[in-house]
Amino acid sequence: MAGLLPVADALARVLAGATALPEEWLPLAEADGRVLSRDLVATRTQPPAAVSAMDGYAVRAADLPGSLTVIGESAAGRPFSGTLPAGTALRIFTGAELPDGADTIVIQEDTARHGDHVSVATSSPRGRHIRPQGLDFAEGMVGLTAGTRLDPRKLALAAAMNHARVPVHRAPRVAILSTGDELIEPGSTPGPGQIVSSNALAVALLVRREGGIATDLGICPDRLDATLAAVRGARQAGFDILVTSGGASVGEYDLMRDVIEHEGAELGFWKIAMRPGKPLMMADLGPMRLLGLPGNPVASFVCSTIFLLPLLRKLAGRRDIEAATEEATFAVDVGPNDLRADYLRASLDWRDGRLVATPAPVQDSSMIRVLAEADALVLRAPHAPAAPAGSPCRIIRLSQRGLPPAG
Ligand code: AMP
Ligand code: MG
């Protein structure tokens, strides 16, 4: 099979010329899942002054051990004004500002209070239980870098750095068109030879998880007028990506080529050295990139994972765009691979302190059930030699199964 395109080359073509979408400013609560379009700098220092990390007494370490006169208190938001003289202590609470003169906190449990005196039986290292000014971050520091995907933790940091809004890339808008005369929507009554469409749903949900906005355009029959109308509608609606599913057979490919020709563009069609998911189509319709995925459900999912999601992440402004992989170990002997990269559906287990992968015995690319039950895709490089049980492999994780037991 000469002329098969390596996966990496196909991915490079899918990503070629794609750049991060324009910037917009969003309130923090609306920015979850978005990607920062520029560095975010702290506009203040945290903590703004040295504060106590515990409830207790602010003292001078040199006075310990001893009995000290309590001259006042400092609580969070209500600092003590004035300097702490030698031989005195200040009642202090967690997060409260340390007064000038004090250099150590003695925790409440290590003291005895008698009226306006507090006695401390032991000495304490200077600086104990004090959070110095700027421990967390200092004004002017880059707290979050451009390209970071925002999540609840990172947005909490943005808030602490005193930002109300953040600059992010616009979310990619993705339309999904299922093509095929045989397809019906889930829940309909199938006629003879009909198949329930499942690809659009999976693609839409994958897109949403990555922070994209997915729109299902429904099912389109394998006819020029219908397909052309759907593609034109997607262009007019201003989608960034149009994903089509199905159309891998010769007649359907011809149809898609006619559609793209009518739109004044050129259709790229590559047979990729991968299994599942050999054929992939691509066309640029103005600013909208069309990606034509194969119709087989497993091929559709794997091609979405390997090609569509990286494209989406690039448009969203992310730097880490390729599918993340992890190391695992084969639980069983695996035979040598042919010239196509293989993505084996496999189960994962944690066994003897190792993550082990067991490929499903049947790897047919039409089998959505096997994909649904899988915990991972095991990557097999083209021409990989036979791998006996116990040899290492790379996986793309699909579920949380096989994580080490807690504790
Ligand atoms: P195609 O790529 O159009 O040749 O389709 C390959 C196989 O995938 C055929 O068996 C189709 O019935 C099936 N298929 C196509 N589109 C879908 C879809 N949206 N959902 C589930 N199966 C599909
Ligand atoms: Mg078809």
pLDDT of residue 1: 47
Rounded to an integer, what distance in angstroms lies between the CA atom of residue 301 and that of residue 202? 7
Residue nearest ligand 1's atom 11 by CA: 295
What distance in angstroms lies between residue 360's CA and the mean position of ligand 2's atoms? 26
58-110 residue pLDDT tens? 999 999 999 999 999 999 999 999 999 999 999 999 999 999 999 999 999 99
User: pTM for the complete prediction?
Assistant: 0.92
Residue nearest ligand 1's atom 5 by CA: 295
Question: Which of the residues in the chain have pLDDT under 70?
Answer: 1-2, 407
Q: Is residue 138 part of a domain?
A: no
| CATH (domain of 69) | 2.170.190.11
One domain, residues 80 and 12: no
What distance in angstroms lies between residue 369's CA and the mean position of ligand 1's atoms? 15
One domain, residues 190 and 289: yes
Beta strands in 84-203 (DSSP E): 88-92, 104-107, 111-114, 117-120, 130-131, 142-144, 165-169, 173-179, 183-184, 195-196
One domain, residues 178 and 304: yes
CA atoms within 13 A on the CB side of 55: 2
Q: Is residue 375 part of a domain?
A: yes
pLDDT of residue 277: 87
Domain range for 252: 7-21+171-315
Rounded to an integer, what distance in angstroms lies between the CA atom of residue 222 and that of residue 283? 18
Rounded to an integer, what distance in angstroms lies between the CA atom of residue 296 and that of residue 145? 39
One domain, residues 201 and 304: yes
Domain tally, the chain: 4
What distance in angstroms lies between residue 366's CA and the mean position of ligand 1's atoms? 8
21-34 residue pLDDT tens? 999 999 999 999 99
Which protein residues touch ligand 1 with a CB less than 6 Å away? 178, 180, 182-183, 195, 197-200, 245-249, 252, 294-297
Neighbours of 46 (CB within 10 A): 19
Which residues pair with residue 66 across a beta bridge? 120
Q: Is residue 405 part of a domain?
A: no
CB-based contact 203:215 (threshold 8 Å): no
One domain, residues 304 and 344: no
Residues 6+ apart with CB under 8 A from 185: 196, 197, 218, 219
What distance in angstroms lies between residue 350's CA and the mean position of ligand 1's atoms? 35
